[in-house]
């Protein structure tokens, strides 16, 4: 697979480390009433989508940036690559 890095252009997927579903950006509020339940879901429960999925890849053998890659888990086709920083900010994360 070739991942089209937004800053570096097309890079071999072997340069990256895979973390998983991009829902991991959405860390639950640790002060909420139902934090224990929410963290269980966050840590252990997955949609495990068959089809187009947003996922986190880390460019370890490159610029060490985190990317959000939109990839089809049935065909391995990559349709979109964004900086994870931009995705997180767009979702309201400021840090």
Looking at residue 21, the DSSP 8-state letter turns out to be: E
| Minimum gap (Å) between residue 75 Cβ and other proteins | 6
Residue 27 CA: distances (Å) to CA of 9, 46, 92: 29, 14, 12
Q: Least distance (Å) from other proteins to the CB of residue 19?
A: 8
User: Which residue's CB is nearer to other proteins, number 36 or number 89?
Assistant: 36
Q: Which is nearer to other proteins, 44 or 92 (CB)?
A: 44
> Two tokens at 58?
């880390």
**Positions in the binding site for other proteins (CB under 8 A):** 1, 12-14, 18-21, 36, 40-41, 43-50, 53, 55, 71, 73-76
The Cβ of residue 68 has, within 10 Å, a number of other Cβ atoms equal to: 20
User: Hunting for tokens 């888990």 — which residue is that?
Assistant: 73
Residue nearer to other proteins on the CB measure, 84 or 89 = 84
């Amino acid at each position: 697979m070739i991942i089209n890095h937004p800053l570096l252009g097309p890079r071999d997927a072997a340069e990256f480390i895979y973390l998983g579903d991009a829902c991991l950006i959405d860390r639950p509020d640790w002060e909420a009433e139902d934090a224990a339940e929410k963290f269980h879901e966050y840590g252990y429960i997955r949609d495990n989508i068959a089809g187009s999925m947003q996922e986190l890849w880390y460019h370890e053998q490159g610029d060490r940036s985190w990317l959000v890659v939109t990839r089809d888990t049935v065909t391995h086709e990559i349709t979109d690559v964004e900086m994870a920083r931009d995705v997180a900010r767009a979702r309201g994360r400021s840090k």
